[in-house]
């Protein structure tokens, strides 16, 4: 189909230099013919990162401790008083409580040891029966022993002398008796006055203060 333009319109177009389209669509001003517009682009974004977290740590706990327990206390040794073991005696060897001359100590579980003042020797024998390990006690004179009296006491285990003690009323004190009696059958005390004078007395002058075996 041909469009006819009026002459005045055509003349005006020629004068102005405008293009007159006849029958077709008007060209676009997008760019050169045949070239597709470039798609819009953007720089790729870097993936989000975070600093690695340090692994959780805890201070090592000290091992549980407990206070050391106190060592067990050894049981007290069983003691047998010597006055309870008297098997024979020249004169009675009773249990007695007395203070030894030269000391301030009272020995409540003592054994009487008579002294031969007439030149003879008094003996006291204990029966142990092989049951004990040691003998212990304090030999001395009673507080009322007369001045000038000197006594010798010999200690024998199964008839063998183990200790010879001198007791002096003018230089008094207690003398420790310690003897090993393991397996022993008997212990004997032989006492004799070697100086001074004796007076009549109801109790022995010499004693084994708190004597015991264990």
- Averaged pLDDT in 10-residue chunks for the chain of 214 residues: 42 40 44 45 50 53 58 70 97 95 96 91 97 98 95 98 97 96 98 92 94 98
Instruction: Please name which of 138, 150, 146, 143 lies closest in space to residue 174, comparing C-alpha atoms.
Output: 138
Dist CA 159 CA 92 (whole Å): 21
pTM: 0.65
Structural domains of the chain, ranges and CATH numbers in brackets = 80-213 (2.60.120.1060)
Q: Are strands 206-213 and 160-168 parallel, antiparallel or unpaired?
A: unpaired
Instruction: Please name which of 153, 151, 175 lies closest in space to residue 164, comparing C-alpha atoms.
Output: 153
- Residue with tokens 């203060």, as numbered in its chain: 209
Dist CA 91 CA 123 (whole Å): 8
């Amino acid at each position: 189909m041909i469009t006819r333009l009026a002459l005045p319109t055509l003349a005006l177009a020629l004068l102005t230099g405008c293009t007159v389209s006849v029958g077709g669509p008007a060209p676009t001003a997008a760019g050169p013919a045949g070239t597709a517009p470039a798609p819009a682009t953007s720089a790729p974004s870097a993936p989000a990162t975070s600093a690695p977290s340090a692994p959780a740590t805890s201070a090592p706990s000290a091992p549980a401790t407990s206070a050391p327990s106190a060592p067990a206390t050894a049981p007290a040794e069983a003691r047998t008083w010597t006055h309870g073991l008297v098997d024979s005696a020249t004169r009675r060897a009773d249990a007695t409580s007395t203070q030894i001359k030269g000391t301030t100590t009272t020995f409540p579980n003592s054994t009487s040891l008579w002294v031969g003042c007439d030149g003879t020797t008094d003996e006291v024998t204990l029966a142990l029966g092989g049951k004990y390990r040691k003998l212990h006690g304090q030999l001395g004179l009673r507080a009322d022993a007369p001045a000038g009296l000197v006594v010798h006491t010999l200690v024998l285990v199964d008839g063998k002398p183990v200790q010879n003690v001198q007791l002096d009323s003018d230089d008094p004190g207690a003398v420790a008796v310690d003897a090993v009696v393991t397996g022993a059958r008997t212990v004997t005390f032989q006492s004799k006055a070697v100086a001074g004078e004796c007076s009549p007395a109801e109790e022995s002058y010499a004693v084994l203060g708190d004597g015991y075996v264990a």
